[in-house]
A = this chain, B = another copy of it.
Amino acid sequence: MMRNKRRGLSTIRFAQPPELRAWAAVGGKKESEGPLHSAFDMLFSDTMCGETTWEQAEMHLQKCAIYTAANKCGMPVERLDLLLSGDLLGQCIASGYTARGCRVPYAGLYGACSTMAESLALAACMVDGGFADTVCACASSHFCTAERQYRFPLAYGGQRTPTAQWTATGSGACILGPASGTNGVNLTYAAFGRVQDYGITDANNMGAAMAPAAYETIRSLLSDTGTHPSDYDGIYTGDLGEVGSRLLCQLAERDGIDLTGVHQDCGTMLFDARQDVHAGASGCGCSAAVLCALLLDELNEGRMNRIVFAGTGALMSPTSVQQGESIPAVCHAVVLESGKGER
């Protein structure tokens, strides 16, 4: 056993790295006004996406991402062996109700904003282990569903603090299969993170709560793989925002690891300064959309060779915050490599 993982290491190495066959990114109105607008597969200018509730709109975003990705690799969704997906809502309804429509085997995940990385890591294990031929990894979020889930009714018009992040309205979906040598992106390593909690209790400063989890997983991945930050074209976290990104680099610097220059955060890439989102974007849909809109295309087209995609999730709930609990966070990471350089 342990053919893929050396004892004592947290990082899984895939002997025959699963291939990302296709991917799709879907976004909302604010995303359509941001710097990545032209990279999305589909954008909605209507917050409801033509549905009657925001929750249904989020389900629609997931559905569009999954069906667009499946369409790109020329397979009907019903042919999927497994759908692994999650979102921020109580009881993960955006994912469960979307899975109802897909009619494929479905395993629900909860990793908060780390969900896209969690689903990719598990999907790669399912493919490399020979348990599934095609797996879809998906995550979503919606600004309006998240606001009423975590904060205030939107109509209340509460003022946002400087450290607050803006939940992305969007979804990303990737379809993974066994390596065929014909496609451009492979998933070579995966690391499931340990939960970290440095005692942050401010639910409007999730970047600070998540930075230690991001650092722990990235440090462990670099150490296990014997690589340095400079071995990557980018170490992309999602979503620490501006505050959390600064803290991540400071934590790394303390241990003599220089992440500046190579580290970028999906939460600071989705929107630009004039969009007034304060510390950046967040939500499962942010890193999922940035990955599927931008990063995978860069790898696929050979403009980047190797990146770390490190999803970070804050695991509190409105109940735990009301009860005075601090905010635990987790970070799952995968290494994605372009096949262009090797072939």
Enumerate chain A interface residues (CB-CB to B < 8 A). 1-5, 7, 10, 12, 53, 55-56, 81-82, 86, 88-93, 95-97, 99-100, 102-112, 118, 121-122, 125-133, 149, 178, 191-197, 315-320, 323, 325, 328, 330, 332
User: How many angstroms between the C-alpha atoms of A123 and B1 in the bound complex?
Assistant: 14
Asked whether, in the complex, the Cβ of B7 is within 8 Å of the Cβ of A133, the reply is: yes
Q: What are the residues of chain B within 8 A of A56 when measuring CB–CB?
A: 323
Asked whether, in the complex, the Cβ of A110 is within 8 Å of the Cβ of B130, the reply is: no
Q: A5-B133, A55-B320, A110-B110 are in contact. List 15 more A-B contacts (CB 8 A).
A: A1-B127, A3-B130, A89-B90, A93-B316, A96-B316, A96-B328, A100-B196, A103-B194, A104-B194, A105-B194, A106-B192, A107-B109, A108-B111, A125-B125, A125-B129
Taking the closest CB of chain B, its distance from the CB of A195, in whole angstroms, is 4
Taking the closest CB of chain B, its distance from the CB of A333, in whole angstroms, is 11
Q: What are the residues of chain B within 8 A of A3 when measuring CB–CB?
A: 130
How many copies of this chain does one complex carry?
2
User: How many angstroms between the C-alpha atoms of A81 and B129 in the bound complex?
Assistant: 17
Q: What are the residues of chain B within 8 A of A193 when measuring CB–CB?
A: 105-106
Q: What are the residues of chain B within 8 A of A111 when measuring CB–CB?
A: 107-108
5 contacting pairs across A/B (C-beta < 8 A)? A5-B132, A100-B315, A103-B195, A108-B110, A128-B131
Known A4-B130, A93-B319, A320-B93; judge A330-B106 contact (CB<8 A). Answer: yes
Taking the closest CB of chain B, its distance from the CB of A152, in whole angstroms, is 15
Asked whether, in the complex, the Cβ of B178 is within 8 Å of the Cβ of A1, the reply is: yes
Asked whether, in the complex, the Cβ of A130 is within 8 Å of the Cβ of B129, the reply is: yes
Asked whether, in the complex, the Cβ of B130 is within 8 Å of the Cβ of A194, the reply is: no
A319 touches which of B55, B106, B194 (Cβ 8 Å): B55
Taking the closest CB of chain B, its distance from the CB of A110, in whole angstroms, is 4
Q: What are the residues of chain B within 8 A of A110 when measuring CB–CB?
A: 86, 91-92, 95-96, 108-110
Q: What are the residues of chain B within 8 A of A194 when measuring CB–CB?
A: 103-106
Asked whether, in the complex, the Cβ of B319 is within 8 Å of the Cβ of A129, the reply is: no
Asked whether, in the complex, the Cβ of A99 is within 8 Å of the Cβ of B330, the reply is: yes
